[in-house]
Amino acid sequence: MKKRFIAEFEKQSFTQIIFPHANTDWAPYLDEAQKNFVNIVNEIVKYQKCLVVSYDIQSVKKHFQDNDNLYFAEYISDDTWARDCSALSISESNKTKLLDFTFNAWGNKFEASKDDLMSRSISNHYSSELETINFSLEGGAVESNGNGILLTTSACMLNENRNPELEDAQITQRLKDYFGSSEILYLDHGYLSGDDTDSHVDTLARFVDEKTIMYVKCEDTNDEHYQELKLMEEELQELASTHNFKLISLPMTDAVYYEDERLPATYANFLFVNGAVLVPTYGVRQDEVALDIFRATFEDRDVIGIDCSTLIRQHGSLHCVTMNFASDIALN
């Protein structure tokens, strides 16, 4: 295959994360947020390198002990959603390059001009070529099976707040061209209350290998998500039938609130690193059930639970604040 979108479950070089600062939305509970990010980074560096994008390197370094796997890049961001404003790893003609798409804060919901420029501004830290693409797309909106299939949601990818000048068929063709995909699979159902992203697929359904999808299943008929997640499950079952996929369901959490707002807590927002899977937890009874499912699924990887109850106050979780980079991209 000449071009392909490298899957997250493949070998990686490093993870990228953006550290919270006082001018981000984390300001009301900055100390709690920074501790949450420190916990995430400290788990990542046990397995691989981590590049911490820092508003001020010396200030951020004080949060960490010296570690050979820890790297820093100085850049002042708007916010910290690395999954959505970082570059994506593509293999083309046996060479890896990075695609830097336009980030418009999930349909111009927030200010994002600094986040949009981040990858270009710190590209000297990457060994691979960075290609800037005039197309609005967030990393959390697309899942790759590593072999030509891309999974996304129509509510996000085909939303007129992303690429309004393009018809649906044109967007689909662009995705095939950018990622070398033979097939774009759209989920038309599924959402999480409190989600700002118009239903990013990384909150709902994820490839864990070329033929297996993990997804969120709601069993509570009184939960507001029950009907939409049931319809999403039926869509996935149809895809499983036509594509020979295996499906693994993850439990929907009990409702989690902050200041009377229901938050988009989801176990689908897990993170692959070399040799491990990092799983968000929320202090609810389903945490241990979810961790057991991950342990049974990934017998050859460590399964690490990370409390993300602070992260979801800003409507995102573990996967949302991180980005994986392919194995042959060196850090400069």
Strands 261-262 and 12-18: unpaired
Which helix (H) or strand (E) is 60 found in, with range? helix 57-61
Residue 294: phi and psi, rounded to 5, are -65, -40
- pLDDT for 195 equals 96
Cβ proximity of 18 and 112 under 8 Å: no
Q: How far is CA 132 from the centre of its chain?
A: 20
Rg (CA), the chain: 18
The CA–CA distances, whole Å, from 72 to 24, 210, 227 equal 19, 33, 44
**Domains detected in the chain:** 3-326 (3.75.10.10)
Planar angle of CA 83, 154, 164, nearest 5 degrees: 85
Regions of the chain short of the pLDDT cut 70:
1
Q: What does the block give as tokens for 293?
A: 């499912």
- Is the distance from CB of 212 to CB of 243 less than 8 angstroms? no
In angstroms, the Cα distances linking 146 to 8, 100, 136, 174, 209 are: 8, 19, 22, 18, 8
Q: Are 69 and 48 in contact (CB under 8 A)?
A: yes
pLDDT at 94: 85
| pLDDT, position 293 | 98
Alpha-carbon distance of 233 to 249, in angstroms, equals 9
pLDDT of residue 300: 97
Q: What pLDDT does residue 1 have?
A: 55
- pLDDT of 272 reads 98
Query: Quick one: pLDDT at residue 2?
Result: 86
